[in-house]
Chain A
């Protein structure tokens, strides 16, 4: 009974490719997030959606495009991948925007 799940767990790809990471939560939460954790373990928010609407969009290159088809899903599409995109990407969800967040297991992206 995974609360927040992400696929794939590992993603290795070449520079310039386009890739997607999927996230699903079965907690009935209204808010979902994407975070990037770099090699120094710093966790930084990228996007936040509340009831399928974008509410936080940090200074992220527009090569990154989140999509929320419904409240339980928040996918991340990345165009023209660059070396610096290599990181672990975490999806999270919370009941509302001011509540504690529950994290997925992460997707380790390596761009060669």
Chain B
């Protein structure tokens, strides 16, 4: 079993919809949980960063961590075509960040 599992998609949703992106993990040692967004031919950029179970909100984005289920989510409200990108979950352990494979998201205008 891979340490971090993420559905690669693609996921296509209409503009304005709520998007739910998810990752599962197997290692209880992960302490920090992140979501990165990567546009085509660009480097990943950090969207959200959290280290505790629960929800963290930033504008239209909400990151959710459930350590008991080893499950993290990113919700995007009122999705926009500019949100179309690849979203990578990432987790930190032993001074190293492990990335999920990324989910390709398409927001249809």
Contacts and interface: CB of A to CB of B under 8 A. Distances in A.
Contacts of A104: 43
A98 B99 contact: no
Contacts of B88: 43
B34 interface: yes
A41 B86 contact: yes
Contacts of A34: none
Contacts of A42: 99, 101-102
Contact of B97 (A55, A101, A105): A101
Nearest to B44: A103
A50 B41 CA distance: 27
A42 to B, nearest CB: 5
Given A42-B101, A98-B31, A48 B43 contact: no
Interface residues of A, number: 22
A100 B96 contact: no
Contacts, number: 50
Given A98-B32, A103-B43, A104-B43, A41 B101 contact: yes
Given A55-B95, A98-B32, A98-B92, A106 B43 contact: yes
A88 B98 CA distance: 17
Interface in B1-44: 8, 31-32, 34, 36, 38, 41-44
Interface of B: 8, 31-32, 34, 36, 38, 41-46, 49, 86, 88, 92, 95-99, 101-102
Interface of A: 4, 40-45, 48, 55-56, 90, 92, 97-98, 100-106, 108
